[in-house]
A and B are shown apart, each in its own frame.
Chain A
Amino acid sequence: MDVTFDEIDGVLVVVPRVKQLDCASAIAFRDLILDKVAGKDRVVLALGHVRYMDSSGIACLVHIIKRMPAGGQLRLAEVDHRVYHLIKLTRLDRIFPAFADVAGAVKG
């Protein structure tokens, strides 16, 4: 799975370069990312490439925040509207704030 990791102003930015993040790819994604987020106060997940996410994909967000330290925040950026629909439907939008672009998510 193609995932890139950048560090901008001390914030970890994760970019999965896949069209689909679903039950079939969630484990691989989780395995790649969980060790990297441990101990980070703020992580931005840039979903610009992702066109489809199911609940298993979204559950990865929960697994990520559980690895982060107290006060840590996981932010989303460039979320496709269909993907965001499911995040809103599951009411996770209150836990994972979404931003239009990566810069906004890093600074805001």
Chain B
Amino acid sequence: MGTEAAAWDAREPPEPVPYSPMREFVYQALATSALALGTWYLHWRWTQSLNRDALWIALPLVVAETLAFFGSLLFFLSIWRTHDPEPQPPPRTRRDIATLVPGEDRPLIVDVFFATYNEDVELVRLSLRDAKAMTYPHPIDIRIHALDDGRRPEMRAVADQEGVHYLTRTTNVGFKAGNLRNALEHSQGDVIVICDADTRPFPALLEQTLGYFRDHDVAWVQTPQWFYDLDPGVSLPDWLAKRAKLGRLGRLVGRGLETVLGPIRVGADLFGNDPQMFYDVIQRRRNWCNAAFCCGAASLHRREAVMEAALRAYADEVDGAVRPFADDVHDPELKSDFEAALTSEAARDIEFTPYKFHVSEDIYTSIVLHSDQSRHWKSVYHPQALSRMLSPQDLLALTIQRFKYAGGTLDIFWNDNPLRRPGLSSWQKLMYGTTIYSYFAPLWAVVFLLSPIVYCFTGIAPVAAYDSAFLTHLVPFLVFNRLAFAAGTWGVNTYRGEQYYLAFFWLNLRAIAHVLRRKPIRFHVTPKTRQAGTFLSLVRPQLVLIALTMAGLAYSGTLLVTGVRSNVTGFLTNLLWSLNNVLLLSVIVVAALRKPTAEGA
């Protein structure tokens, strides 16, 4: 890794896409048109174009289309407007961020937490060193802590050498959330910076973000997570000339295509790790309604907010445990004694946890704070990256990460639905709802994947007819949908994300099943999977679907050529549809074949 790391070291994070009111207006106009055309199309689909002879396929498809359309509606609304936070000057002392009694003030204390478990200690050393290099214009007490859940003597040695605090504990209860809780109990900063083992802060991290805490209601600040190790890929002309061995002609064709389509890089970010779509588009547009959520690494938290919410959650839980029993006792004196005894019991038993012990503790804590009715905590998403980190390096690591995201979010929805929480505004609910809803997408994605296969093999169409009326209704919606999406995500490469959105359908289906069966959210990895060298075993369903789709195309193509079938529009529609499916699915197969690196495996 050494030499590659040196090559990445010089990379700078991309600037956030500059805000343009004009583009935002164009986006809103296009999105409104797309939604209107989509409503018109779906109305027509439901009322006039169902294949009544084959409702078993016609109904699932129209339902899937409707659910997907609802997803588009949520998505378009969730990225409706951008409002970046006003930068604030760095606070001088504690008084600038909290209400204090007269006469008591001091420089700010900031705790920087690096949660680690089994990462290379030399990698953690780089992170610790970068944290030590953070600057601040006023006196400040920065305390850096290596939180080692692996209890490794070599990690302690590195912490000692770097002159930072080393913290560990005897158990691994609650995993990362438990590790953070332990750190909170053993530290005393006014503000906490949460970093993963590989999060390397830039010198300006505190200077640029602590100012937001001047607003006493700001509970946390999230900065973008930027991966500095993403594979930049090869430019299309180079790829055509060298890899595809087309020489000068290839280069010429490549240049021509790039002139029309813009720069194209083949093989860039094969694992779809680039989080720019999530941060620069999705999170950034949640700022205006105070709905940007915390994503763990590279975020800063007001200790007071974390602790206050934890205290309240604890008190409520104690009360919830006592109330049902105490309410059954009617004699006032007996009741008071009984209540006191029960309260004491519950207060001792119930966990006091500043971070929810949950796979998605970051989004969960965000929901708890956003819905806190007595405080109305605010969140800030700071658009510029102020740290860098490493991305998952192979399909297995990526699969484990995505499974955790999906399962964690669905688990929150299932067990503590934020949409039913009093205290969240309608827009906050819409934002959280959009995130949750997106994890249900595989339910309808399956229908989109299977429909063309069914048509190709059986000739049974889910629509009344693949005719010009169908295209007249569908094409304008699709075109405006694409245009709105392009305008809404302008300047951000979204294609990999779209590919994985579909390609991970199987993983997300499994996450849904996991949550429904109340199984712990952990992706089960067999030793065989790890040893195989490639991860094809992870993508069997995608391989089967690709094979079936291609076979279906060959089959129905043959029938068309030989005159057995005559519907050309039907064939062409399903051809495009199938090819799109295959193109989207194929990324994960290519990713599975990529040899895992030593660190990733």
Interface residue? A56 (CB, 8 A): yes
Once A62-B311, A65-B347, A91-B312 are accepted as A-B contacts, the answer to whether A71 and B341 lie under 8 Å apart by CB is yes
Assess whether B304 is in contact with A91, with CB atoms less than 8 Å apart: no
Q: Does A46 reach chain B (CB closer than 8 Å)?
A: no
C-beta contact mask, B44-55 vs A, less than 8 Å → 1, else 0? 000000000000
- Count of chain B residues near A, Cβ 8 A: 34
Q: How many A-B residue pairs have CB under 8 A?
A: 90
| Docked pose: A81 CA to B30 CA in angstroms | 56
B362 touches A (CB below 8 Å):
no
Known: A59-B352, A65-B344, A89-B374. A19 touches B104 (CB 8 A): yes
- B101 touching A92 by the CB < 8 A rule? no
Bound-state CA distance A58–B352 (Å) is 12
B303 pairs with A95, CB closer than 8 A: no
The answer to the question of B190 belonging to the interface, with a C-beta cut-off of 8 Å to chain A, is yes
Q: Chain A 22-49 against B: per-residue CB contact (8 Å), 1 yes, 0 no?
A: 0111110000000000000000000000
Given contacts A65-B347, A66-B347, A94-B319, contact A59 B307 (CB under 8 A): yes
Is A55 interfacial (CB-CB < 8 Å)? yes
Chain A proximity of B94: nearest CB distance (Å):
9
Q: Is residue A52 contacting chain B, with contact meaning CB distance below 8 A?
A: yes
Give bound CA distance, A89 to B189, whole Å: 22
Smallest CB gap from B315: residue in A:
A91
Q: Which of the residues B186, B314, B319 comes within 8 Å of A62, measured between beta carbons?
A: B314
A23 near B189: Cβ-Cβ < 8 Å: yes
CB pair A92 B315 closer than 8 Å: yes
The answer to whether residues A56 and B303 also contact, given A65-B344, A90-B315 and a CB cut-off of 8 A, is: yes
Q: B303, A71: Cβ atoms under 8 Å? A: no
Given known A59-B310, A59-B311, contact A52–B104 (CB-CB < 8 A): yes
- B106 proximity list for chain A (CB < 8 A): 24
Q: Are B315 and A66 in contact (CB under 8 A)?
A: no
Q: Does B524 contact A (CB under 8 A)?
A: no
**A residues less than 8 Å from B186 (CB atoms):** 27
- With a cutoff of 8 Å between Cβ atoms, the chain A residues found around residue B164 in the complex are none
Residues of chain A with a CB closer than 8 A to B189's CB: 23
> Who on chain B is nearest to A97 by CB?
B340
Question: Max chain A CB contacts within 10 Å: which of B303, B316, B345?
Answer: B303
| Residues of A with C-beta under 8 A to B375 | 89
A89 to B303, CA, bound (A): 16
A73 to B316, CA, bound (A): 18
Q: Are B101 and A55 in contact (CB under 8 A)?
A: no
Q: Is A78 in the interface zone, CB < 8 Å from B?
A: no
Question: B348 on the interface (CB 8 Å rule)?
Answer: yes
Q: Are A94 and B374 in contact, with the CB atoms below 8 A?
A: no
Measured CB to CB, the residues of B under 8 A from A are 98, 100-101, 104, 106, 109, 185-190, 303-304, 307-308, 310-312, 314-316, 318-319, 340-341, 343-345, 347-348, 352, 374-375
